[in-house]
Amino acid sequence: MTNQRSEQLFERAQQLIPGGVNSPVRAFGAVGGHPFFVERAQGPWLFDVDGNRYLDYVCSWGPGILGHAHPKVVEAVQKVCERGLTFGAPTAGEVELAELICTCVPKVELVRLVSSGTEAVMSAVRVARGYTGRDKIIKFAGNYHGHSDGLLVKAGSGLMTQSVPDSAGVPAGYAADTLTAVYNDEESVRRLMEENSGQVAAVVVEPVAANMGVVPPQPGFLEFLRRITREQGALFIFDEVITGFRLALGGASEYTGVSADLYTFGKIVGGGMPLAAYGGRRDIMSCVAPLGAVYQAGTLSGNPVAVAAGITTLKILMDDIGIYERIDRKAAKLEEAFRKAGLCVNRAGSLLSAFFTSGWKENERGGKVRNYGDACQCDKEAFAAYFNRMLARGIYVAPSQFEAMFVSDAHLDEQIEMTCEAIAECGNILK
Ligand SMILES: *Cc1c(COP(=O)(O)O)cnc(C)c1O
């Protein structure tokens, strides 16, 4: 396996781009070695510039539920491009995409399109503040909501493998209004609510956490959050940038049976293009300009090319609802392979993570990951060794312990089998 071209590109990239990458986890900092540069992708495969092929379980960090370069999505994008790339004026596609989102997630009555998940959550929080007239928000340690200032407090994802726990450059004043609770710990939320009574605008949560590795909510946890936000006059925000259209067509609210006041979507909703959305109850979303006093805008918002990719992706999912059963079943096979290898596995639908909890070598099944503290205890060196062995076998999992493994509809059963064998072999060698 040669990687000469990738090495040369990375050398050049580092002269010009911070760390050689345009998003930190891509740099392979947590696993050693250098990133490969992608030339193209098809179905479940990534091909790098040196001609190597990888079975891809990152799927662009979530959007790729159909696999790469789905012919219908590519065709829709090509067709719309011919009519112009951006107009800064309304298009029919935006209306259609809004209708599709509201149909899939019925609690979303009004929805605004934006260009990234970061923007979606930042805007939803602003709306919650505008609506309630309160400043504080509660988030959970290890939940990632994008890189806006107020949300980079105890955030998960790439921040978990940086030497600084949180970002420099965030004024203390922003952090002061962001209160951090422990995921799956009701008492930690109750305490913050009591200490800040009448001041909390919203509780924002990843309904199934997937940025500290996958950590599903314990039974009753989301129901508790729904109840306490209602009692305290705070809004409840589901950050469904990963879980939306992934756990089910209706996202986490369909999957868990709990619903929120505001929702954020990204990743799948853009079908691989830069598009995201936030929406929810009509009375709350009516605060958004030009209807209301909460300002939020975007030159490229509702971009026609991105909208075409989003519409086509959602339609494919709606027309083939069996997809969810298929990807869940494949993820369950991987889950079983990890468990047999002695690892702690968390899975929700087609999202899963294997954790190298202490004791995994002895096959001690006690290790559980229920929150950020548990996740941080994991053996990162063992993870790095596992990552590199999988990569050498042509299987690309996220280059960090704290990311999800994404299964797409393009992953075939035989490829899942091959992955299970690789997992078993890794388990044996690493012990
Ligand atoms: C990826 C992610 C975001 C940020 O989305 P970007 O498009 O990367 O800005 C926000 N919330 C969650 C839960 C995410 O997984």
Model pLDDT for residues 260-278, shown as the tens digit of each residue? 999 999 999 999 999 999 9
Whether the pLDDT of residue 354 is over 70: the answer is: yes
CA distance 274 to 114: 9
Q: Which amino acid is at 201?
A: A
Classify residue 295 as exposed, middle or buried by CB count within 10 Å of its CB (0-12, 13-18, 19+): exposed
CA distance 15 to 122: 32
Mean pLDDT of 11-24: 97
Q: Phi first, then psi: what are they for 264, rounded to 5°?
A: -125, 140
Evaluate: CB of 206 within 6 angstroms of ligand 1.
yes
pTM for this model (two decimals): 0.96
Evaluate: CB of 211 within 6 angstroms of ligand 1.
yes
pLDDT number for residue 312: 98
CA of 389 to the centre of ligand 1 (A): 28
Whether the pLDDT of residue 7 is over 70: the answer is: yes
> What does the DSSP assignment read for 84-134?
-S--SS--HHHHHHHHHHHHHSTT--EEEEES-HHHHHHHHHHHHHHHHT-
pLDDT number for residue 1: 79
Mean pLDDT of 64-76: 98
CA distance 311 to 110: 17
Using pLDDT thresholds of 50, 70 and 90, give the confidence band for residue 163: very low
Domains annotated on the chain, with CATH: 4-57+321-430 (3.90.1150.10), 71-319 (3.40.640.10)
CA distance 431 to 429: 6
Using pLDDT thresholds of 50, 70 and 90, give the confidence band for residue 171: confident
- Among 54, 144, 263, 386, which one carries the catalytic annotation? 144
pLDDT number for residue 365: 59
pLDDT number for residue 243: 98
Using pLDDT thresholds of 50, 70 and 90, give the confidence band for residue 287: very high
Whether the pLDDT of residue 90 is over 70: the answer is: yes
Distances (CA, A) of 384 to 166, 283, 312, 378: 22, 48, 37, 11
CA of 364 to the centre of ligand 1 (A): 34
CA distance 8 to 60: 23
Q: For residue 413, give every residue at least 6 positions away whose Cβ sits within 8 Å of its Cβ, in sequence order, or none.
A: 330
Q: Specify the ligand 1 atom closest to the Cα of 116.
A: 7
* DSSP strand pairing (262-265 vs 53-56): unpaired
- pLDDT by residue (tens digit) across 290-325? 999 999 999 999 999 999 999 999 999 999 999 999
Whether the pLDDT of residue 43 is over 50: the answer is: yes
Sign of CA dihedral 276, 282, 287, 289: positive
CA distance 293 to 403: 37
Q: Specify the ligand 1 atom closest to the Cα of 119.
A: 9
Q: What is the mean pLDDT of the chain?
A: 94
361 is catalytic: no
- Among 54, 267, 374, 396, which one carries the catalytic annotation? 267
Q: Which two tokens stand for residue 41?
A: 């992708």
Q: For residue 100, give every residue at least 6 positions away whose Cβ sits within 8 Å of its Cβ, in sequence order, or none.
A: 310, 311, 314, 315, 318
CA of 158 to the centre of ligand 1 (A): 11
Q: For residue 153, give every residue at least 6 positions away whose Cβ sits within 8 Å of its Cβ, in sequence order, or none.
A: 139, 166, 170, 175, 178, 180
Other C-beta atoms closer than 10 Å to the C-beta of 18 total 10
Q: For residue 75, give every residue at least 6 positions away whose Cβ sits within 8 Å of its Cβ, in sequence order, or none.
A: none
Mean pLDDT of 361-379: 83
Q: Which amino acid is at 385?
A: A
What percentage of the chain has pLDDT greater than the value 70? 97
185 is catalytic: no
* Residue whose pair of structure tokens reads 């004791």 in the numeric block: 359
Mean pLDDT of 318-345: 96
CA angle at 271 for the pair 268 and 276, rounded to the nearest 5°: 60
- The gap between the terminal CA atoms of the chain, to the nearest Å, is 25
pLDDT number for residue 96: 98
Mean pLDDT of 2-31: 96
**Which residue, 154, 161, 181, is CA-closest to 378?**
161
Whether the pLDDT of residue 154 is over 80: the answer is: no
Using pLDDT thresholds of 50, 70 and 90, give the confidence band for residue 164: very low
Beta-bridge partner residues of 277: 113, 265
pLDDT number for residue 366: 61
Q: Specify the ligand 1 atom closest to the Cα of 117.
A: 5
Using pLDDT thresholds of 50, 70 and 90, give the confidence band for residue 385: very high
Using pLDDT thresholds of 50, 70 and 90, give the confidence band for residue 127: very high
Beta-bridge partner residues of 344: 355
Listed in sequence order, the DSSP H helices in 295-347 are: 304-319, 323-340
Whether the pLDDT of residue 367 is over 90: the answer is: no
CA distance 224 to 142: 19
